[in-house]
Amino acid sequence: MTSTLARYAASDATSRGRRYQEASPRHRSEYQRDRDRIIHCAAFRRLEYKTQVFVNHEGDLYRTRLTHSIEVAQVARSIARALSLNEDLTEAIALAHDLGHTPFGHAGQDALNEKMRDYGGFEHNLQSLRVVDELEERYAEFPGLNLTFESREGILKHCSIPNAKNLGELGQRFIENTQPSLEAQLTNLADEIAYNSHDVDDGLRSGLIEIEQLQHIELFSAPYNTVIEQYPHLNERRTIYEVVRRIIGQQVNDLIETTSDILQEQQTADIDAVRHSTKPLVMFSKRMCEMNLELKRFLRNNLYRHYRVHRMSAKAFTIINELFDAFIHDIRLLPPDTAARSRILENEQGISGKARAVADYIAGMTDRYAIREYQRVFHPLEPT
Ligand code: MG
């Protein structure tokens, strides 16, 4: 299982282990076990009804957090295999990376962060870690999923310094400015590759952006011209797909080749050398970085800030804002188990603990659950 891994790959042999000690799995690697636990957890199933850019009920063909996570896992595994890195670990990280996402995508996260400003803030990467470390209640022997250090390290992509200080060895790298495993680094970029390309696809399908606009964007225009030249009579839907697969392919190839050169050049010895490095070792070429940035900027200005996306974001803000205030002022509005948890955390940590319990409850909601909960709490004619 581990014989083909590069010397700098993560492996069961060099793993820093789990928070609660457990016997090794019999027929799986440690990271396969992590992946399996993630797939079976409730937060993973909720990803199906959480937004990426489009709200879940807007259409059945758009990406959700679940399909996004699966696409990230696919891209990450391809890259990991080509670089002889640990595919199982990349898959576990990819499938878990968005578990802490709020309903309504970034609008939801911004709203919750705003509400939590005086109580330690809300960071979605940190929330993903809270989900796997604490919030999932499934096992008799430990809270959370008790994942390996390496999976947890990969899930915690970003973290503010004050929060990092409370995380022990997992937070160290944000304070010391060092790196996580190569598997974590590549999954982070696989996430970008996946969302940039599927947002082009979903954006075009929704009609919020047009091919004509994208022709000024190099990452799109180069493959688009190739496809049009090679298949001038292809219908638009298939043309777009042929372009999108090339956008993904170009970036994956660039990432593999650039990273492979860096690893050779640096003579990277092992995972410790990776972790002590002051700079990431998994990278796009400079040229690809620029093209990538150009596409990102385009998507930000034309898709994420499109008035129709903004309308939904504004609604999301209202829903989260008002639910948070209502729950904080009267925790008896919460379902009993959440209210009980809120009382426990309030006893332990004061008002910040109470706010955290409310934030955990809201962050766990799917888009449609949040909308229904809003109606149940505020609309006099709705059933409660
Ligand atoms: Mg993501």
> How many angstroms does the Cα of residue 105 sit away from the middle of ligand 1?
10
Q: What is the pLDDT of residue 309?
A: 87
Q: Please give the distance, rounded to the nearest whole angstrom, from the Cα atom of residue 97 to the centre of ligand 1.
A: 6
Convert the pLDDT of each residue in 114-155 to its tens digit: 999 999 999 999 999 999 999 999 999 999 999 999 999 999
Separation of CA 26 and ligand 1 centre (Å): 31
Place 29 in a pLDDT band, splitting at 50, 70 and 90.
very high
Q: What is the mean pLDDT of residues 284-292?
A: 97
Share the mean pLDDT of the chain: 94
What is each CA distance from 169 to 121, 173, 178, 256, in whole angstroms? Answer: 21, 8, 12, 29
How much distance in Å is there from the Cα of 305 to the middle of ligand 1?
19
CATH numbers and ranges of domains, the chain: 29-305 (1.10.3210.10), 309-378 (no CATH)
* 51 — pLDDT class (breaks 50, 70, 90): confident
C-alpha 312 to ligand 1 mean position (Å): 20
Q: Is a pLDDT exceeding 90 seen at residue 61?
A: no
Q: What are phi and psi of 18, to 5 degrees?
A: -110, 160
CA of 69 to the centre of ligand 1 (A): 6
Rounded to the nearest angstrom, the distance between the alpha carbon of 144 and the centre of ligand 1 is: 21
Q: How far is ligand 1, taken at its centre, from the CA of residue 351, in Å?
A: 31
